[in-house]
Amino acid sequence: MPHSYPALSAEQKKELSDIALRIVAPGKGILAADESVGSMAKRLSQIGVENTEENRRLYRQVLFSADDRVKKCIGGVIFFHETLYQKDDDGVPFVRTIQDKGIVVGIKVDKGVVPLAGTDGETTTQGLDGLSERCAQYKKDGADFAKWRCVLKISERTPSALAILENANVLARYASICQQNGIVPIVEPEILPDGDHDLKRCQYVTEKVLAAVYKALSDHHVYLEGTLLKPNMVTPGHACPIKYSPEEIAMATVTALRRTVPPAVPGVTFLSGGQSEEEASLNLNAINRCPLPRPWALTFSYGRALQASALNAWRGQQDNAGAATEEFIKRAEVNGLAAQGKYEGSGEDGGAAAQSLYIANHAY
Partner 1 sequence: EAGSTMGNRLQRIKVENTEENRRQFREILFTVDSSINQSIGGVILFHETLYQKDSQGKLFRNILKEKGIVVGIKNQGGAPLAGTNKETTIGLDGLSERCAQYKKDGVDFGKWRAVLRIDNQCPSHLAIQENANALARYASICQQNGLVPIVEPEVIPDGDHDLEHCQYVTEKVLAAVYKALNDHHVYLEGTLLKPNMVTAGHACTKKYTPEQVAMATVTALHRTVPAAVPGICFLSGGMSEEDATLNLNAINLCPLPKPWKLSFSYGRALQASALAAWGGKAANKKATQEAFMKRALANCQAAKGQYVHTGSSGSASTQSLFTACYTY
Active site residue 230: yes
CA 263 → CA 219, 228, 294, 295, 339, distances in Å?
A: 17, 12, 8, 6, 18
Nearer to partner 1, 263 or 322 (CB): 263
Q: What is the dihedral of CA 129, 9, 80, 310, to 10 degrees?
A: 150
Nearer to partner 1, 2 or 241 (CB): 2
- Collapsed DSSP state (helix, strand, coil) of residue 276: coil
CA 139 → CA 112, 135, 312, distances in Å?
A: 21, 6, 33
Contact status: 234 vs partner 1 (CB under 8 A): no
The sign of the dihedral angle between the CA atoms of 345, 351, 352, 356 is: positive
Contact status: 342 vs partner 1 (CB under 8 A): no
Contact status: 291 vs partner 1 (CB under 8 A): no
Active site residue 330: no
Contact status: 294 vs partner 1 (CB under 8 A): yes
Spot the catalytic one: 108, 230, 277, 278. 230
Q: How many residues bind partner 1 (CB under 8 A)?
A: 24
In whole angstroms, the minimum distance from the beta carbon of 261 to partner 1 comes to: 7
317, 275 contact by CB (below 8 A): no
The sign of the dihedral angle between the CA atoms of 317, 321, 323, 324 is: positive
Stretch that binds partner 1, among 54-62, 194-202, 289-297, 326-334 (CB under 8 A): 289-297
Nearer to partner 1, 121 or 263 (CB): 263
Contact status: 224 vs partner 1 (CB under 8 A): yes
**Residue selected from 115, 130, 295, 322 as contacting partner 1 according to rule CB under 8 A:** 295
Contact status: 268 vs partner 1 (CB under 8 A): no
Which residues in 36-95 contact partner 1 (CB under 8 A)?
none
Spatial distance between the Cα atoms of 328 and 191, rounded to a whole number of angstroms: 26
Q: What are 147's strand-pairing partners? A: 108, 186
- Collapsed DSSP state (helix, strand, coil) of residue 79: strand
Stretch that binds partner 1, among 106-114, 183-191, 219-227, 325-333 (CB under 8 A): 219-227
**Residue selected from 258, 289, 315, 330 as contacting partner 1 according to rule CB under 8 A:** 258
Residues 6+ apart with CB under 8 A from 247: 286, 290
**Residue selected from 79, 138, 214, 343 as contacting partner 1 according to rule CB under 8 A:** 214
**Residue selected from 38, 263, 322, 345 as contacting partner 1 according to rule CB under 8 A:** 263
In whole angstroms, the minimum distance from the beta carbon of 207 to partner 1 comes to: 7
Residues 6+ apart with CB under 8 A from 268: 228, 229, 230, 231, 257, 261, 296, 297, 298, 299
Which residues in 174-213 contact partner 1 (CB under 8 A)?
207-208, 211-212
On the CB side of 258, how many CA atoms lie within 13 Å of its CA?
Answer: 13
Nearer to partner 1, 254 or 282 (CB): 254
Residues 6+ apart with CB under 8 A from 327: 309, 310, 312, 313
- Helices and strands counted in the chain (H then E): 13, 10
**Residue selected from 38, 67, 219, 342 as contacting partner 1 according to rule CB under 8 A:** 219
Q: What angle do CA 194, 196, 202 make, to 5 degrees?
A: 75
Contact status: 9 vs partner 1 (CB under 8 A): no
Contact status: 264 vs partner 1 (CB under 8 A): yes
List of residues contacting partner 1 (CB under 8 A): 1-2, 4, 207-208, 211-212, 214-215, 218-219, 224-225, 255, 258-264, 293-295
Q: Which residues are catalytic?
A: 188, 230
